[in-house]
Amino acid sequence: MKLICSEEKVEIDDDSLMVIAKKADGSLRDAQSLLDQIISFAGNKIVVDEVLKALGAVNQELYFELTEIVQNKNLQAGLDFVEKIIGQGYDIDEFLLGAVEHFRNLLFVVTTGHTRLVETSETFKARYQQEAQKFTPEDLLRYIKILSETEYAIKRSPNPRLKLEMAIVKILKLDRSVTFEDVISQLRQLQGQQDVITTSPPAEISGNKKTDLFISPAKAKGNGGTVSYNSTHSETSTPVVSQPSTNEETRNEEVVLSLEDIKSNWASIIAEVKKKRIALGFFLQEGVPVGLEGEILEIYFPKKNGFHLNSVDRGKEVIQRVIQTLLGARVKLKLVHSTQKAVDVSLKNQLIDAHDTKSEQPMDPRIKKVLDVFGGELL
C-alpha cells in the first residue's frame, strides 16, 4: 500500500497504513478499497485521525488510557471511560476486540521481553515495552478472559453497554494475582516468626488457698476433657488435663426406672411423642405399659388394634429416645397383643385418670384448626 500511495502521490504515515491493514484483516483487495475511500474522504494528505474517523476504528490511545485506569484501580474513571466510548460512537463489539488484542500485546511483551510479535507501529511498540512492566502474566490472562467472555455475551444481549460496564468494573475490582510460590514463601516466613516466639510463664498465684480454673469440655475439645489449673501451697500452677472416664460402669450410671415411673409419666411420654410425630403419639396412646424387666419395656395393645401396634413398632426408636430424654433411662420396647382385655382396660383407665389429675396437655394448634374446620372430635 505504501508503494501505491507513492505512485499516486498520496502522503500517508505508517500509523494510518497499519490501521488500514488491520481493518482489511490481511486482504490486499479490501485494503485497496479502503484506501480509495479514505483518499476520497481526506484527499492526498492522510493522517491517522482522519483514517480512524473514516473507518470508525478505535484510536489505540484509548486502550492505553484503559491500561492506566486498570493500573490505578480507579472505578469512577472506568465508568467515565465507558461513557466516553459510547459518546464518541464507537462500536462496543469492535472496542472489545481491540481491547483483547491490546492486553494480548502486553502479555506477549511481558512473557518474551520484546515487541517483535506485536503488530503495531514503532511508536506504540515503545509504549507497550514501557507499560508491560506494570503487569504480571496472570493478571493479563484474567483481563483477556473477562473481555473475551464479554465480547461473546454482548452478541445476544439487549443491553451491550451494561455488559461493557460490568466487565470494566470486574477488571477494576480484581485483586492482584498471587502465585502458590509466593503463598508458600509467606507461610514459611510466618512459621519462622512463630518459632522464635517464647511463651510467657504461668501467672503466679499467691496464698495457700487451692485455686481451680475449669474449662468446659466443649471448650476443651482438643483435649477431650476438662482442663484445670490446681495450686496448693505453690506459687505457680501446673495445667492438668483430666480425661473423661472410659469406665463402662461409670459411663452407664443412669437412673434406675420402675414400671410405676413409666406409668406415672406415660401421659407426658405420649405428649412428647406427638410433638415429634403426631400420628405415632395417637397410636401409642392405645397401648398400655405392663412390665419392665431390665431395659425391656412391655407395652400391650388390644387384639383389635393390630394396625396401631405395627405403626408403633415402625416408630419405636423415636419413643425410646423420648423416654431416655424425659426419664434419663434407656429402654427397649417390646410390643405384644394382649388377650386380657379386662386388665388392659383397667390399666388404660388408670393411666387416663392419672393424666387428667396431673395436667391437661395443650392441644396441637394444627389439630385444633382441623377439628374446628370439619367439626370433628378426637377419639
What would the pLDDT profile of 2-18 be if each residue is shown by its tens digit? 788 887 788 887 888 88
The predicted structure's pLDDT at residue 198: 46
Q: Which CATH class is domain 259-374?
A: alpha beta
Q: Label residues 309-321 b or e (16+ Cβ within 10 Å = b).
A: bebbeebbebbbe
**CA gap 355, 368 in Å, rounded:** 20
The predicted structure's pLDDT at residue 167: 93
State which H helix or E strand residue 70 sits in.
Answer: helix 60-72
Instruction: Provide the β-strand partners of residue 297.
Output: 292, 333
Strand, helix or coil for residue 224 = coil
What angle (nearest 5°) sits at the alpha carbon of residue 183, between those of residues 179 and 189?
145
Evaluate whether the domain defined by 2-55 bears CATH number 1.10.8: yes
Residue written as grid cell 507513492: 6
8 DSSP assignment: T
- Look at residues 229, 253, 257, 226 and name the one whose alpha carbon lies nearest to residue 242: 226
**CA gap 204, 200 in Å, rounded:** 12
The predicted structure's pLDDT at residue 162: 93
What is the pLDDT of the chain when averaged over all its residues?
76
Question: Where, residue-wise, is CATH 1.20.272.10 in the chain?
Answer: 60-173
Q: Which CATH class is domain 60-173?
A: mainly alpha
Question: Where, residue-wise, is CATH 1.10.8 in the chain?
Answer: 2-55
State which H helix or E strand residue 327 sits in.
Answer: helix 316-327
The predicted structure's pLDDT at residue 1: 79
The predicted structure's pLDDT at residue 170: 93
State which H helix or E strand residue 160 sits in.
Answer: helix 160-173
Strand, helix or coil for residue 301 = strand
The predicted structure's pLDDT at residue 355: 47
The parts of the chain modelled with pLDDT lower than 50 are 198-200, 202-252, 341-345, 354-360
Query: Do the Cβ atoms of 294 and 329 come closer than 8 Å?
Result: no
Query: Do the Cβ atoms of 294 and 267 come closer than 8 Å?
Result: no
Question: Where, residue-wise, is CATH 3.30.300.180 in the chain?
Answer: 259-374
The predicted structure's pLDDT at residue 215: 42
Instruction: Provide the β-strand partners of residue 11.
Output: 45
Query: Do the Cβ atoms of 303 and 337 come closer than 8 Å?
Result: yes
Distance from chain centroid for Cα 41: 58
The predicted structure's pLDDT at residue 78: 93
The predicted structure's pLDDT at residue 378: 58
CB neighbourhood size of 188 (10 A) = 10
Q: How many CA atoms lie within 13 A of 314 on its CB side?
A: 10
CA dihedral sign, ordered 325, 326, 332, 334: negative
**CA gap 151, 154 in Å, rounded:** 6
φ and ψ at residue 358, rounded to 5 degrees: -80, -65
